Amino acid sequence: MKSLISKSLIVGAVALIVSCSSAVTLADMQNQVDKTTREVESAQEAMIELATMKEQYSEDHRDAKIKALKTRDKALQQDVNRIKGIEAESAQGAAYDMADNLKAERSSIQAQMSELEKVNRENWQSTRDSINREIETLNGHIARLAQSLADDKPVK
């Protein structure tokens, strides 16, 4: 993907230059270098922001799941307490079975919460570092193009 971005930016710049029907001036070239530099910087910021958002999303998503499980766990505990309060002898057997089933569901929910709490926030730092390296490469290509413009001598 990274090389695709760099290749597409370079191809786009070359295509723009080649497709012009009028003569391309040094000012046109410098404007294109400036525009390309800004677009690369913008792309870098957007990609870094995306990686950072993904980290936050992973944490928020985990926390939302835990919250939902805690709510369900609390409701199950209330149901168990209500069932334990049944005093009629004829219903007590069924109530105890129902309470046991609810307790088993609570155990499952508590195990899920425990597993989710162990999940760390995703770390996309290596992706951000890779993005920065690729951007440096693109900026190097832009700098070489700009330098080649500076090396050109105007015709006298």
- What are the pLDDT digits (tens) for 29-78? 899 999 999 999 999 999 999 999 999 999 999 999 999 999 999 999 99
- Tokens 């005093």 belong to which residue? 87
What global pTM score does this model have? Answer: 0.63
When pLDDT is cut at 50, 70 and 90, the band that residue 7 belongs to is low
Radius of gyration of the chain (CA): 31
Q: Are 17 and 149 in contact (CB under 8 A)?
A: no
